[in-house]
Amino acid sequence: MLFAAGLGTRLKQETLNKPKALVEVVGKPLIQHAIEKLKNEGVNEIVVNVHHFSEQITEWLQKNDLGVQIKISNESKKLLDTGGGLKKAATFLKGTEPIIIYNVDVLSNLNVKVLVKEHEKTGALATLVVRQRKTNRYFKFDGQQRLVGWTNKKTGEIKLSRPVNLETTTEMAFSGIHVVHPKIVDLMPEDEVFSITDFYLQLAENHLIKGYYDKSDLWMDVGKPEELERARNTFR
């Protein structure tokens, strides 16, 4: 699943008349970079959720055949947040294979095939790709890379899913890439709009939610103006 419904407010001038998914880096919109990345990793079916300038994304996808089957999960009437977006798209995601979730504003050379194999090997309900980088919000993991909590360094807020010695936890930043078992949909709340971060923290009380520590040499959140500019300068 490709999350492409965001408002792109951080990009300001770039998204005044188009969605973040159609912002370009080296002549290609972000949605094309993401689809080509997933296709190269062996993905042949992708669900794209849309909201902001949804008709532009739908039209672009209809005009550009990238060699994969695309289905649209339309949130144009109401933005459902990440958890709600996954829940709404659930009808397109039925089956037994792991579901790869990928943010449209991520540029990465992560080996997704290895990620999926690790996810299947551990039997986790969800595997979250995380990195060591500076940010305000971090997931907390125990010594077995099991999700145990979350913290916001700016506000000092801490949420714990399991009893743990905070001094022994590892704090890692989420990369906007995750793999989930399809049965996760059956555990979702009744709410229509909810954060997948909070959902993972709730699940971690009784289910195995793992961190995948990514050390690949390329990861950018180009939903940030400074990172978008860096990407454009790097990949000329």
Q: What is the mean pLDDT of residues 136-157?
A: 97
Q: Quick one: DSSP state of residue 146? A: B
> What is the tens place of the pLDDT at every residue in 2-11?
999 988 899 9
Neighbours of 37 (CB within 10 A): 18
Q: Which residue, 106, 200, 130, is CA-closest to 159?
A: 200
> What is the tens place of the pLDDT at every residue in 97-123?
999 999 999 999 999 999 999 999 999
The pair of structure tokens assigned to 49 is: 């959720």
Q: What is the pLDDT of residue 69?
A: 96
Distance CA 196, CA 178 (A): 11
Q: Which amino acid is it at 35?
A: I
Q: Where are the domains of the chain?
A: 2-234
Higher pLDDT among residues 200 and 162, named by residue: 200
Q: Is the pLDDT of residue 12 over 90?
A: no
**Average pLDDT for the chain:** 96
Topology (CATH level 3) of domain 2-234: Spore Coat Polysaccharide Biosynthesis Protein SpsA; Chain A (3.90.550)
Q: What is the pLDDT of residue 207?
A: 98
Q: What is the pLDDT of residue 194?
A: 97
Q: Where are any strands of DSSP class E within 42-105?
A: 45-50, 69-74, 99-103
Name 206's Cβ contacts closer than 8 Å, sequence gap at least 6. Answer: none
> What is the tens place of the pLDDT at every residue in 164-223?
998 899 999 999 999 999 999 999 999 999 999 999 999 999 999 999 999 999 999 999
